[in-house]
Amino acid sequence: MQRLIVFGAATLVLMAVDSSAQTKTIPGETKTVTATVEAIDHGNRVATVKKADGNYDEFYFSESFKAFDTLKIGDKITAKYYENLVLRLKPAGEPDVNSASGGAVRSETATAGTISHQRTITATIAAIDQNVPSITFTGPNGWKYSSRVEDKAALAKVKVGDKVDITWTDAMILSLEPAK
């Protein structure tokens, strides 16, 4: 499970980088989810929530989102979020990247705000399976990710050992509704 700054377990469909273009942007879609708080881990600033479809997820709240301190079991969280992914084939000799940034802007009420997060890492292509087709990346801190690939032509243009900068960008409008 991947935890984002507030909303977790995003599904990202990775596509191979087209080496002639050097960069591939995979646009996300805007989604809205409403979930009920089932458990709160105050030490790690994580809320376990139950979504309308009955599945559970984790929301991670940054230190700058002060409304977390008022969160209670049974509260409803509504989040409208957008994410996208940019893959850039890394030129030989360029230093690896492993960075994250983000922030929160509180609305006039204490129970709503906008949160953004961006993370960039340098990953190495560890495996390519043209039959599936799929690709596996490895990166810093033991990170590993495998995915089907939609663009077979782009997959044919990269090889095991190539380095790719992967940038995830997430933005979310979040509101909390106290339990009744």
Give the confidence band of 110 by pLDDT, cuts at 50, 70, 90: low
pLDDT greater than 80 at residue 24? no
In a domain, 69, yes or no: yes
Q: Is residue 11 part of a domain?
A: no
Q: How far apart are the first and last CA of the chain?
A: 30
pLDDT, position 9: 27
CA distance 49 to 65: 17
Residue 2 lies in a domain: no
User: Is 79 a member of any domain?
Assistant: yes
- For residues 107-111, give the mean pLDDT: 67
Does residue 38 lie in a domain region?
Answer: yes
What's the pTM value of the predicted model, to 2 decimals?
0.62
Percent of all residues in the chain with a pLDDT value above 90, rounded to a whole number: 37
- Residue 159 is predicted with a pLDDT of 94
The stretches of 15-146 forming alpha helices (DSSP H) are: none
Residue 12 lies in a domain: no
151 in a structural domain = yes
Q: For residues 180 and 175, what is the distance between their CA atoms, to the nearest angstrom? A: 16
Please report how many Cα atoms fall inside a 13 Å half-sphere around the Cα of residue 29, on the Cβ side: 6
- Residue 50 domain boundaries: 23-177
**Using CA atoms, how far apart are residues 122 and 144, in angstroms rounded to an integer?**
12
User: Is the CA virtual torsion 35, 37, 38, 42 positive or negative?
Assistant: positive
Residue 27 lies in a domain: yes
Give SS3 for 52: coil
Total structural domains within the chain = 1
Token pair, residue 85, equals 């992914």
